[in-house]
A and B are shown apart, each in its own frame.
Chain A
């Protein structure tokens, strides 16, 4: 197995279950037994760190480092440095993080859904072609442009998953969602319309003058 096997959704889940730090050590680029697995691992961890920062987990809790199997001293240094960092941050959801427990646990559940979802996984899977050979229009992204796009998708995907999380509990109107999630109603409306079109939510009924939306449970076969 390779660091490329590392599934970011499982990473978020592990933090939700109480992990305080995760260090991923892979081979040097060009030296990977599995050829390109370490590139994948790095892209996935980098994206997860950005998402963590967005939801309020200190991104230092997650690291991707490289060393070869012949570099014992380098490995020890990497582990000791990371260990010291995590000890200083303390347990997850404490002083070291922007968001505290128990709110953080909910945020991590959202993060897991984002990381398991289609959009993030497509974008990360396409990172190498996007930044080297270009997209289907031949546009090549710089690392900076790619990261900016990732950050935008992180914001959107998190909000979408938060809406789905709220609707999972009960049907709500746009105004109610906007109130509980502190997102402008216009944005909520846009998300809900898109979710409706994709068949994730449906109109449940009208309460007063505002329509209420409910979650359509997805057939997971």
Chain B
């Protein structure tokens, strides 16, 4: 794409009042006057709301009547409004990447409401920088890439199986990779599921049966993923199966590797016999409790909410309450006490279950982590804050509520897929509210306890959700990629050293042998445009579209020169 001759650049600047959100705090006339003095600016207009229909029409009219070939809007945040303004430019026949947005509301008028003069000065600097960059913008084309309609689900627990079934019912091929002998994951070890007290084995059997019967689903047990290459739509995955390594072409990946319960070695005299975990209690309940057990004491927050593991695993409370109810109903002679720090019983049904447990005679005693319960030979000592004294509870069985932890191999999986884990080792979603089931990397999704401890219903809901998210690229058959990405701007300069390849967090760069020797190649679809490569290349061969060195320098120059 040849650059416009400098004299051909015609910039239009639209300054938005945002009602009084901006105009109430900045000197709008001064801003408009300033914009008019900047190089290449041929048209300046103030709008009450640039995003309103009339504002949008003004932009289009400006492009058509004033022959604008660059558009700058100084208004709110690009997060919400850049797509709108870009598409308005496109509708008027201007390449949408010749549009530049300046934020004079969220980052200026809203935070400097008491300082009109200084805030106006800052807005001038921001607008000056936006105009300087706009003059150097180059048109870009959206990148389209095909998507292979086969999904890989890593983990055959309830979350992974639910996601697999959901995708298979939509007609997509699914490959499930499970490292254990059997599908079902955690469900295989549980007794009954709260709050409906459904039998875990039934749900597991029913789900596994559906998965095995579905013609679109291929299951590999005692298998694991050993290599993942490529990007959304075109992953090349190697799976080590019982019958050898298999290479499979995959379009999207769902991570549903689950979690593992903490084994509380050295805590509260844990021995796996008299003192067990809730996880072990599930198996004991399934077999039937020993008749000699007349007094059960449960201790909450064992090994969590401390310095080593500061998080609350969120589902241990409901598990304890559920198991307490089950014991009280099946063995009415057996007394259950729960020693807790805070009860985490979120949601209406859990809250109801909590009330039911009290009605069923489960006793609750608050304890202070500074003065934790003492597990003795046949008793548990605890300070009762309401009675204001130490008391001793008879205890034939002590049940420790330990958190679910990230799997030991989660880190390996994260490196394999180049997706992040958080400080607790759980997989980190793209955004906690906006993209809870997506990774930041396109085409990879997550669900279930791999993300954070989840109960069965949550795991199922997340499995369905991840499948729905994954269906978007699968059903479109192609993905559109924002072209603000890395480009090999100077092929001759590139020595193919591979420094950038090693640093790229997305695996979006590779060195290829070309006619001119070893050269780096940008995998457009995988690149997110972070710019690490361009900031590192010592040959200055790589650049980032719409964030080139020249554009950044022009912004710096503008910032340093707009001062009166």
Where the two chains meet, the residues of A that have a C-beta atom closer than 8 Å to any C-beta of B are: 1-2, 4-8, 10, 13-14, 17-19, 30-31, 33-37, 40, 44, 116-122, 124-126, 129, 221
Query: How far apart are B422's CB and chain A's nearest CB, in angstroms?
Result: 6
The answer to whether B549 and A36 have CB atoms under 8 Å apart is no
Q: Annotate B422-433 by CB proximity to A: 1 below 8 A, 0 otherwise.
A: 110000101000
Q: Is the beta-carbon distance between A37 and B530 smaller than 8 angstroms? A: yes
Minimum CB–CB distance for A66 against chain B, Å: 14
Give the distance in Å from the alpha carbon of A31 to the alpha carbon of B547 in the complex: 23
Flag the segment in B202-210, B451-459, B535-543 that touches A.
B535-543
- The contact sample of 16 A-B pairs, CB cut-off 8 A, is A2-B531, A4-B531, A5-B531, A5-B535, A6-B535, A10-B549, A10-B552, A10-B556, A34-B440, A34-B505, A34-B532, A40-B503, A40-B532, A40-B535, A116-B540, A121-B499
- Size of interface on B: residues with Cβ below 8 Å to A: 37
Quick check: A4 and B535 within 8 Å, CB to CB? yes
CB distance from B399 to the nearest CB of A (A): 34
Q: How far is the CB of B310 from the nearest CB of chain A, in Å?
A: 14
CB–CB A19/B556 < 8 A? yes
Cβ–Cβ < 8 Å partners of B465 in chain A: none
- Determine the chain A residues whose CB is within 8 A of the CB of B503 once the complex forms: 36, 40, 125
Q: Nearest-CB distance from A114 to chain B (Å)? A: 11
| Bound complex: CA A1 to CA B547 (Å) | 8
Instruction: Report which of A7, A35, A129, A221 forms a contact with B493, defined as CB distance below 8 A.
Output: A221
Do A10 and B505 contact each other (CB < 8 Å), given the known contacts A5-B534, A18-B560, A124-B536?
A: no
Contacts known (A30-B420, A33-B440); A1 close to B505, Cβ less than 8 A = no
Partner of B506, one of A10, A35, A40, A121: A35
Is A17 a contact partner of B530 (Cβ separation < 8 A)?
Answer: no
Q: Which of B326-370 contact A (CB under 8 A)?
A: none
Top 8 A-B pairs ranked by shortest CB distance? A5-B531, A35-B505, A34-B530, A121-B538, A4-B532, A2-B530, A118-B538, A7-B535
Q: Do B532 and A14 have beta carbons less than 8 Å apart?
A: no
A30 B428 Cβ-Cβ under 8 A: yes
Within 8 A of A (CB), among B503-524: 503, 505-506
Task: With a 10 A CB-CB cut-off, give which of B428, B502, B503 has the most chain A CB atoms.
Answer: B503
Measured CB to CB, the nearest residue on chain A to B495 is A118
Minimum CB–CB distance from A29 to chain B (whole Å) comes to 9
A121 touches B440 (CB 8 A): no
Q: Which residues of A contact B537 (CB under 8 A)?
A: 121
Q: Looking at the assembled complex, report how far the CB atom of A100 sits from the nearest CB atom of chain B, in whole angstroms.
A: 20
Please indicate the chain A residues that have their CB under 8 angstroms from the CB of B490 in the complex. 221
Residue interface mask B456-494, A partner, CB < 8 A = 1: 000000000000000000000000000010000010110
A120 to B531, CA, bound (A): 18
CB distance B556 to A35 under 8 Å? no
One digit per residue, 1 when the CB lies within 8 angstroms of any chain A CB and 0 when it does not, for chain B 399-424 equals 00000000000000000001010110
The answer for the CA separation of A114 and B528 in the assembled complex, in Å, is: 28
Given A7-B549, A30-B422, residue A121 in contact with residue B536 (CB < 8 A): yes
* A183, B492: Cα distance in complex, Å: 36
Determine whether the beta carbon of A36 is less than 8 Å from that of B531.
no
Q: Which residues of A lie under 8 Å from residue B500 when comparing CB positions? A: 125
A10 touches B538 (CB 8 A): no
Q: Are B538 and A117 in contact (CB under 8 A)?
A: yes
Chain B residues lying within 8 Å of A5, measured Cβ to Cβ, are 530-532, 534-535, 544, 547
Q: How far is the CA of A49 from the CA of B557 in the complex (A)?
A: 22
B534 near A7 with CB under 8 A, answer yes
Give the residues in chain A near B530, CB-CB below 8 Å: 1-2, 4-5, 34-35, 37
Asked if B556 and A17 sit within 8 Å, CB to CB, the answer is yes
A112 to chain B, nearest CB (A): 11
With CB as the reference atom, state the residue of chain B lying closest to A124.
Answer: B536
Residues of B within 8 A of A31 (CB): 422, 428
User: What residues of chain B lie closer than 8 Å to A13, measured between beta carbons?
Assistant: 553, 556
Interface centre among A4, A8, A126 (most CB of B within 10 A): A4
Q: Tell me the smallest distance from the CB of B231 to a CB of chain A, in Å.
A: 14
Contacts of A37 in B (CB 8 A): 505, 530-532
